[in-house]
Chain A
Amino acid sequence: MTSLDLTTSSLRQLRESLDSKQISSVELAQFFVNRIKQFDPQLNSVITETADLALEQAEHADRRIANGDSSALLGIPILHKDIFCTKGVKTTCASKMLADFVSPYDATVVSALGNAGAITLGKTNMDEFAMGSSNETSYFGAVKNPWDLSRVPGGSSGGSASAVAAGLAPCATGTDTGGSIRQPAALCGITGLKPSYGRVSRYGMIAFASSMDQAGPMAKSAEDCASLMAAMAGHDPLDSTSARLAVPDYATEIQKPIAGLRIGIPEEIFDKQLSPEVGDTINAALRELESMGAVLVDVKLPSTPLGVSTYYVIAPAEASANLARYDGVRFGYRCEHPENLEDLYVRSRTEGFGEEVKRRILVGTFTLSAASYDQYFMKAQQVRRMIANEYDEVLADVDVIAGPSAPNTAFPLNDSSKSITDMYMEDVFTVGCNLAGLPAISVPAGLVDGLPVGMQLIGRAFDEATVLRIGHQFQMQTDWHTRTGGIEEFAS
């Protein structure tokens, strides 16, 4: 098998290669370990490589395979976003605050994938504490987009997106609070799914905004994402917000044709925020879906313009409390020679957190304060319900809502023309379903000036099956998801 084959193989193809003994799990793991070593310096997508662990797990996988075990993910290498606690391995959340933190326990997502036989290659770079849309706020430096190294991969799961797009790993985990799986997936030309809130356990996933955070798969296809979801989804008694709902057989569901499915197109999407070229690309993708028998329906989501502000009130507020535990007392960064307790707290936190994190903590602390609570926080929670109700009403009539995942393609690194609030507007298409707790997938839908564009499909609560199905069927008809503009440069 050529290395191009391996870097472009889907999970199913890798499974077949493993089962037919064309390659062993150890060889496969070694292959990707080497790719990371060789090419990641150009991308900076990996914070911690876990080669020894990977090989150990791969040996174990080979024994299982030899015994006839052919579980879907057995022996499949994976990268975990460095927001997931991994036992015995550094878990930094891309922050100075946790730069040396070694977790004593595994996140449920990590142990679930591990039990399914996945091989941990390492921990990917991300925006610090998941706060960002370009992976430029990381303590460990910015991540580059393999399609164009002068551009951002998106964020906050930029490392995972970049690595998968560049073929450094066949798949990765990400997290999505306001678009952090979908937007980088779109900018890097891969597929990423944000599951419904409560579909995947948050235990062991370092908290940013507790009522919106969700872990999800990032891979080269919807089918691969479905494979990962089979292991990731399910109730976890350690997470009170985890739903007690059976996990559908995604692999079977996605095979169903989509003729007759109703796809809602919100009129609010095609506004000044969206670049015309991206708009055209999405329209072409929608017509493709129509040619497959889907019915396009015009819908209205009038609260769409309020999404970003609602999100940026609630998420930083929850984060300001979630990040209070980083105080230099029990773990994490502690300033040198603290004079007293106050000094310990203030200097550890001021020195340990990056600027964007501090900005959001400040805003969050403000909106929760006594004088502001009703006007900002409670108001935002009320508007959140309005937005959620709107989605529910629309999704009672259509099966999914479609649109672009991001307003533009990958923008340049260090783009000084982008203000802080400009950066927040990157999330305009993605925050809605985090607020409403709905599942959404981003699939590659085209190229604009050689850069990937992602189409987003939002489904009903716990109907990942339908968005994965439309994504998969779309990918059976089109080949945008196979474009390897991110890989050619790195193929050996």
Chain B
Amino acid sequence: MSASTDVTPIAALAKLAISDQSYSQVKENFESTLQLFDELTQVDTAGIAPLVSPGDRHQTLRADTNETLVERAELMKNAPAQEHNYFAVPRVID
């Protein structure tokens, strides 16, 4: 029951580009995966609460204290571009 889907806007949301040559293959793969889900979408799940995380545990809270786990220089060591301790990206216009 997978209608034909335009994968371009989905790719755009995920910041991925699909080349013209590969578009049809990507779309085919995408649709075949969706077909895998057909049976799933038909299951009657009335009244069943979604399971987000196994185990029914609750969030433990952390004390409000300060700790520096890694120094700035180390944290920024892998930055592709940085200047004056800022991460640098191409100019953004709001």
Contacts and interface: CB of A to CB of B under 8 A. Distances in A.
A294 interface: no
Contacts of B57: 198, 241, 243
B40 A379 contact: yes
Interface in A193-223: 196-198, 211
Contact of B74 (A100, A104, A437): A104
Contact of B36 (A308, A334, A436): A308
A437 B91 CA distance: 45
Interface in B41-63: 41, 43, 45, 48-55, 57, 59-60, 62
A376 B36 contact: no
Contacts, number: 168
Given A240-B60, A346-B16, A375-B41, A329 B75 contact: no
A455 B36 CA distance: 26
Interface in A102-148: 102, 104-105
A310 B50 CA distance: 12
A480 interface: no
A423 B7 CA distance: 22
Given A309-B37, A382-B45, A343 B90 contact: yes
Interface stretch (A24-32, A42-50, A361-369): A361-369
A225 interface: no
Contacts of A260: none
Main secondary structure of the interface of A (DSSP, over half): helix
Interface string A413-454: 000000111001000000000011110000000000000000
B53 A330 contact: no
Contact of B77 (A104, A196, A244, A381): A104
Given A382-B50, A461-B55, A334 B80 contact: yes
Interface residues of B, number: 50
Contacts of B35: 421
Contacts of A435: 51, 54
Contacts of A308: 36
B33 A363 contact: yes
Contacts of B52: 211, 381
A347 interface: yes
B80 A332 contact: yes
A382 B87 contact: no
A388 interface: yes
A200 to B, nearest CB: 13
Interface in B1-53: 5, 7, 10-11, 13-17, 26, 29-30, 32-37, 39-41, 43, 45, 48-53
Nearest to A328: B80
A276 interface: no
Contacts of A384: 50-51
Nearest to B13: A365
Interface string B67-93: 001100011111111000001011110
B54 A369 contact: no
Contact of A240 (B11, B39, B50, B59): B59
A320 B14 contact: yes
Contact of A421 (B36, B48, B80, B90): B36
B78 to A, nearest CB: 4
A366 B17 contact: no
Contacts of A104: 70, 74-75, 77-78
A233 B61 CA distance: 21
Interface string A341-367: 111111101100100001101110111
Given A338-B90, A379-B45, A388-B51, A421 B13 contact: no
Interface of A: 100-102, 104-105, 196-198, 211, 237, 240-241, 243-244, 305-306, 308-310, 312-313, 320, 324, 327-334, 338-347, 349-350, 353, 358-359, 361-363, 365-367, 369, 375-376, 378-386, 388, 419-421, 424, 435-438, 461
5 contacts: A101-B78, A243-B57, A366-B34, A386-B45, A388-B54
**Interchain residue pairs A-B with the least CB separation, the first 7:** A437-B54, A381-B50, A331-B78, A334-B80, A382-B45, A385-B51, A104-B74
Given A100-B78, A312-B33, 18 more contacts: A198-B55, A244-B60, A305-B39, A324-B14, A333-B80, A334-B81, A338-B90, A340-B90, A341-B90, A342-B15, A346-B17, A349-B14, A362-B14, A365-B10, A366-B5, A382-B51, A388-B54, A421-B35
